[in-house]
Structure 1
Amino acid sequence: MSTLRISLRAGERIFVNGAVMRVDRKTSIEFLNDVAFLLEGHVLQASEAKTPLRQLYFIVQMILIDPANAAVAKEMFARSRELLLGSFKTPEILAGLEDIDDMVGRNRPFDALKRLRSLIPLEDAIMGSVPDRHETAIELETPRIAAQGAR
């Protein structure tokens, strides 16, 4: 059995299988089995979902954060993805949307979010927008994982 070790700073939150946890001091957590989690630094607020790919990111993150309503979020994802496929012409974004669809279909929303973060700078370039500080953080921040393992 493989483990996944995550280090958290004091006051940092993590979303685990739909539950929100905050640690009061610097700590490390080891997950010994499959778990759906999202670090606070990767959470996008609804008010920050101002572009099509950020809106799709918000929908996919809801699959992780609210597992009880994942079926509804997956329906929203499918409708949104179809609209995006008709809106973008950039081959890299279109290929990314196919990858993301595959990941969501295989119940790998964490991987889909990671792939979406890689596409957001392309979307910004296409739209000619300059991201604010938080939007840059979700695009580029990678989780602080001490060891790879179960997910």
Structure 2
Amino acid sequence: MTALVLELKQGESMILNGAVIRFKTRTRLELNTQARFLFGRQIMREDEATTPARRVYYALQQAYIGPEDERPAAFAAARQVIEILRDAAQGAARAGWETLLARLADDAGFEALKQARMMVRAEAFSRA
């Protein structure tokens, strides 16, 4: 069995299967089973979801780490917002939203989060 090894710094947080874990000391963690997790800068607080792309990222984050029975509805709600943003976008932004929708259609939650992070960066770049 292949294990995933993570090193987290003192004070960093991790969300593991919906539970928030804060590390009091530098920690090396080994995950031996499949789990849904986010850590460090992957975690967005609700008050940081201040732009359309950030709101999508936050919605996907909550769907990804949320309770199993709530995940389908949360992903469906995020998908509706993404479709609206896609329809209003042009060029590279539209292609980015299309890619994000494809990740969701493939049920690739973590890959969708990665694409959403790219959309957040692109949005910040276009506003600068």
Q: Give ranges in structure 1 of 5+ residues lacking alignment.
A: 130-151
Aligned match of 1:135: none
Structure 2: distance between partners of 1:67 and 1:107: 16
Identity of aligned residues (%): 28
After superposition, the Cα gap between the structure-2 partners of 1:119 and 1:100, relative to the gap in structure 1 and judged at 3 Å, is same
Q: Tell me the SS of whatever aligns to 1:96.
A: helix
Give the TM-score of the pair, scaled to structure 1. Answer: 0.74
Aligned match of 2:75: 74
Aligned match of 1:50: 50
Q: Give ranges in structure 2 of 5+ residues lacking alignment.
A: none
Structure 2: distance between partners of 1:2 and 1:95: 35
Instruction: Using the TM superposition, give the Cα deviation of residue 3 of structure 1 relative to its aligned residue in structure 2, in angstroms.
Output: 1.8
Instruction: Using the TM superposition, give the Cα deviation of residue 74 of structure 1 relative to its aligned residue in structure 2, in angstroms.
Output: 1.0
Query: Aligned pair count?
Result: 127
Structure 2: distance between partners of 1:104 and 1:75: 9
Instruction: Using the TM superposition, give the Cα deviation of residue 120 of structure 1 relative to its aligned residue in structure 2, in angstroms.
Output: 2.0
Q: Tell me the SS of whatever aligns to 1:25.
A: coil
User: Cα RMSD between the aligned structures?
Assistant: 1.7
- Where do residues 18-57 of structure 1 align in structure 2 (5 Å cutoff)? 18-57=18-57
Q: Tell me the SS of whatever aligns to 1:35.
A: coil
Structure 2: distance between partners of 1:95 and 1:103: 12
Give the TM-score of the pair, scaled to structure 2. Answer: 0.86
Paired residues of 2:56 and 2:82 also in contact (CA < 8 A): yes
Higher relative contact order (CA 8 A, sep 6+): 1
Paired residues of 1:15 and 1:39 also in contact (CA < 8 A): yes
